[in-house]
């Protein structure tokens, strides 16, 4: 019999992406500039993921 594979844990960068998405949507709705909100969300998500990666890799040592 084939055993089903266990479910994978969510990626470690998921909280950063959620925070960035909420911040981008909030900016877009507040200033009625959705393109800038998308840009801010993407940039903020990438920056927060890079910072989180550095912190997590430093804690592994």
The reported pLDDT for the residue numbered 43 is 96
Give the whole-angstrom CA distance, residue 37 versus residue 22: 10
Q: How many helices (H) and strands (E) does the chain have?
A: 2, 0
Q: In terms of residues, how long is the chain?
A: 61
- The pTM of the full predicted model, rounded to 2 decimals, is 0.75
Q: Tens of pLDDT along 35-58?
A: 999 999 999 999 999 998 898 888
Burial of 30 (0-12, 13-18, 19+ CB in 10 A): exposed
């Amino acid at each position: 019999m084939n055993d089903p594979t266990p479910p994978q844990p969510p990626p470690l960068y998921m909280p950063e992406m959620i925070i960035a998405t909420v911040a981008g949507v909030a900016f877009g709705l507040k200033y009625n500039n959705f393109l800038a909100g998308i840009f801010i969300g993407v940039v903020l998500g990438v920056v927060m993921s890079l910072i989180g990666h550095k912190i997590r890799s430093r804690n592994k040592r």
